[in-house]
Each structure stands twice: as structure tokens, then as C-alpha cells.
Amino acid sequence: MSFSDGISAINLEMSERVPRTEYGPTDNWPLVRAVTGIDVNEASDVSTRRKASRAMEQAWNFDFRWNVWVGAGNGHFPGRYTKMGHAVFDEGGTDYSEEVDCPFAEPEEVLAFDPMEEYGPADIAKITKEFNDNYDNQIDLNPDAVNMTGIYTTCVSGLIEMFGWDMLLTAAGTDPKAFGEVTNRYTAWISRHFQALAECKAPIVMVHDDIVWTEGAFMHPDWYKKFVFPNYKKMFAPVLEAGKKIMYTSDGTYHQFVDDIADCGVHGFVMEPTTDMGYIAEKYGKTHCFVGNADTRILLLGSKEDIYNEVKRCMDIGKKCPGFFMAVGNHIPPNTPVENAIYYNECYEKLGRR
């Protein structure tokens, strides 16, 4: 692990090796066992799992740790929000949930919803302390990498958390303008969390917002330009004024909005394989850092030649850019063949020297 290579990329300074991060392999216990030799699984005690995850990060030389703090699941939505269940991802299916509950019965309830009335104004001092504690905890867990704290439910992801997909799409389709006003009211409420993010000690912060699907925008592009990106500028302003660097993440295919997002002041892009990393490298490769974007499906189903070619594709795009981090887009889940994941790492080590 190398803080120096990670921070060099954040600061757009060319390092001798391409830095990297990954999502998921530190909890992918079959892979962790193979890489570290530590006998660990989902039933192991916390100390053993933490030791094994740390050893995995050291073995694969992580330079950057994706992390956020604010979201519905840890008490930041103190009122109604939708529970959407969870499919199996972790080994043994420990994350599976059938709990599905939407407290909104009609789209009119969504269109009338005011988060400030429902949740009350957030306590900036309290949330600032939570950000600081979260950041300190990340440094304790991963002292040799670039760490951060951040917000998961920035804008669109906040709407998804509150309403769930079915009711969100129904309400937005019923009256897009009124739903835009709901978005404005949500922004007014979540902005206090961004003020806390500006006041916390972390110099680098993560802003997550799933604004699209794999197919791209799920609302008309003009709706985003009227109700999402202007609100980003309002939310991000205190963070930027505090001198922090903002890393931005969206799942799905968001290259049609890269210019809009850049215009909001972010310093880096995190993306899945379907977003056009070549466009980001060509237009923003000297001014922004970016993280991605090998296709996890190739690790899951591809041959060694396929895996090598996918790593080479990413390196051919990003290696010439000082802010490029290598990563598998989305995750390396537990059903990935261990030998494929290990070979992917070998390809990274072979191709990652500048």
C-alpha cells in the first residue's frame, strides 16, 4: 500500500506505478484466503476478519479507499424512507434481505413530501463529529492509503432512499416539475450535511449519487440540468470553499453528464465499466483524477486472454494520465473465480509500471 502514490494521483502528479483501488475483495473470503493464507470466512470473529482484510489490501497494494458515511441505514434519515431489500452478494448470503417496505402509497404523497418537515434540520456539529470519527476510523483501518469520508445520499440517491424506485418513477412521471421541487426541498435538507462535510477534518471527500441506470439517464436530460446539477453547485460550494477535493461516484452510464458534473467543481470521477473512461481521459485526464473501470463480468466469465486485454484497455486509456487509478468497476464479488481474480492482479502488476 502506498499513500504517496495515491496522493500523487489525487494531486495530478505522475508516479512510477499506476495506483489502484478495488471494491469488495477484502470481504471476498475465498479470495482473501488464497492471497493471504489466513483461514477466514464470514463466520470468523471480527479481529480475524479485520486482520485478513488488512493483509489483503497490503498484498494487492491499495492506494485509495472508497468510503462514505451519510446514508439512510445509519440513522441519518430519522423518519420515513423506503426499505428495498437486498440481493445476495456476500459469501454465504449474509447480506440477503426480504425486507421491502415503502411508506408512500400514492405519488401525490411523494410530490408533497418535505424532508425538512419529516426529518428536521440536521445538527451540523453532531454530523461533523461523525464525519471526523468515521475518517479517523478509516485511517486506523487503512493507515497506508488515501482515506476519506463522504455522503452516499447526495441528491438522486437520496430520492431513491426515501421513495424507492417504483414510487420515485411513478411520481416523477406523474409530474416531473413537481418532482423537481421535491428534489429542491431534499437539497435544502441535505445541504446541512454538506456544511458538516466542509467543516470536518478530511481533506478528500467522496460524493456518491446514482443519477443513471446502465442504459443511461432515467429522466429527461433537461430535468437533470434543471434540478440536479444546479443543486450540486449549491451543495458542493462550502466543501470547495473549505479547500477540499471532491471525488464523485455514480453507478451506471453517466458519460453524457460528465461535463455537467465537472462544471460543478469535482476533482475526480469514479465509474463503472459502462461509462466512457476514454472520454474522461481525453478531456479531463490532465485536470482531474479518475478511477476505473475494468469490467467485473470479464473477471467472472472471461478467459485469461480476456482479462489481460481488459486490463490493457484500461491502462492504454489511463496510464498517460497522472490522476488515473486502476480498479475493477463495481466490485469483485465472491462468485468471481479465485484464479481469475488472482490473474487480474498479476496483469495489473505487469502492466501498471510507467
Q: Across residues 277-306, what is the average pLDDT? A: 97
Q: Is the peptide bond before 293 cis (omega within 30 degrees of 0)?
A: yes
- The structural domains of the chain, with segments of one domain joined by +, span 3-351
- Report the 10 Å Cβ neighbour count for 259: 12
Residues whose CB falls within 8 Å of the CB of residue 88, separated by 6 or more in sequence, listed in order: 95, 96
Confidence of residue 264 (pLDDT cuts 50, 70, 90): very high
| Average pLDDT of the chain to the nearest whole number | 94
pLDDT of residue 93: 58
pTM: 0.95
- Report the 10 Å Cβ neighbour count for 255: 18
* Amino acid in the structure at residue 210: D
pLDDT of residue 198: 98
pLDDT of residue 73: 77
pLDDT of residue 94: 62
Q: Is the per-residue pLDDT at 220 higher than 90?
A: yes
pLDDT of residue 92: 62
- Least confident range of 250-259, 271-280, 325-334: 325-334
| CB distance 329 to 293 below 8 Å | yes
| CATH 3.30.450.40 matches 3-351 | no
43 or 98: which carries more pLDDT confidence?
43
Share of the chain above pLDDT 70, in %: 95
pLDDT of residue 154: 98
| CB distance 96 to 88 below 8 Å | yes
